[in-house]
Amino acid sequence: MIRTLSIALLLGAAGVALAAEPVVTTPVAIVDAPVKAGLVQTAVLAGGCFWGVEGVFEHVKGVISVRSGYAGGSKVAAIYEVVGSGLTGHAESVEIKFDPAKVSYGTLLRVFFSVAHNPTELNRQGPDSGTQYRSTIFPQDAEQARLARAYIAQLTAAKTWSAPIVTTIEPGKAFYPAEAYHQNFLKLNPDYPYIVYNDLPKVAALKRLLPGVWSDKPVG
């Protein structure tokens, strides 16, 4: 079922308009892979509805492509309506192909933690709740797992947020592309109410807070 944005999502119990997820400017990763020429690499990240996370990373310099999908569960259950039960082990995720000569894995993590989602929310983001909306990094190798652990430790030590980071690191999990109608959803549906309220502010925050990684022309 496609998400809709009702008045109940826009207004809190007191009838006051709810704010979109907060964003912060996180520090540059102290421990990072060097930016160098090499083969195209892959990052898989989960932070709530994949529409917004995909839309953010489509505007990052050095990113070649972004796909929405599912990670953390089996291939047979990687179906939107089934994942929506919260019982399959999947998280709505994005697969990011990037050029390591133009952007580092640590920079992608910085974008992820700064503007793509709120890493202190357990099994939810904004109006969406359930384990399928958890904050998760799916490292593609031991090096990515090491960098992810180091960056979380750095942010924790810096007390970037008042609440603890709940992001999990789940290695060895395959990524399965989502249905065609989910791909490039933000770019194709910029006036969709859910996108306007929850996701366009994230894209705007990327441009405002991290102008050095911003690309005016989205990939895809």
Q: Indicate which residues carry an active-site annotation.
A: 49
Q: Residue 86's CB: how many other CB atoms inside 10 A?
A: 14
Q: Which residues contact 191 (CB under 8 A, 6 or more apart)?
A: none
Closest CA to 66 of 74, 75, 54, 77: 54
3-state secondary structure 96-164: EEECCCCCCHHHHHHHHHHHHCCCCCCCEECCEECHHHCEEEECCCHHHHHHHHHHHHHHHHHCCCCCC
**Gap between the terminal Cα atoms of the chain:** 24
